[in-house]
Amino acid sequence: MGPATFTLGYTDTASGSSMRNPWSSYPGYSSVQVQDFNRAKESAAILKAAYDFSRHGVEGLTGYALWVHGSGLSAPVFNEDEYGFDLQWRPPKGGDLRGLSFRMRYARVNQRGGGDPAINDFRFIVNYDFPRP
């Protein structure tokens, strides 16, 4: 398998109500960092490109960029687009940073209508897996 992965997905929610999620979060393909794109009458298409940079000398570095285009809604609820970028590094096993991982995520949501407000969401995440005794 190569270092690049491309994803294309589509979701469509009926007009009766928003998608129900008794699992505590919506498990759809279009659920991304900020928005779920699961509102009543909403359709969403997602395009995502991911890459593993290990073959370029940075073992454990991966990243992706995505775009989700939501449509089908009308005022007072507006259509949205979300753009996302993710970069994650898991240091090689056996090194001094064993068990750590570092992740930077950025998402921007643009609403098409209602004054066109935007949301910017930046996250920096550090995880540590404690060794098992």
pLDDT in tens, 26-70: 777 888 899 888 888 889 999 999 999 999 989 999 999 999 999
Residue type, 77: V
Question: Do residues 88 and 107 lie in contact, with contact meaning Cβ atoms separated by under 8 Å?
Answer: no
Q: What percent of the chain has pLDDT over 90?
A: 52
Is residue 30 classed as helix, strand or coil in its secondary structure?
Answer: coil
What pLDDT shows up at residue 25?
Answer: 72
Please give the model's pTM, rounded to 2 decimal places: 0.84
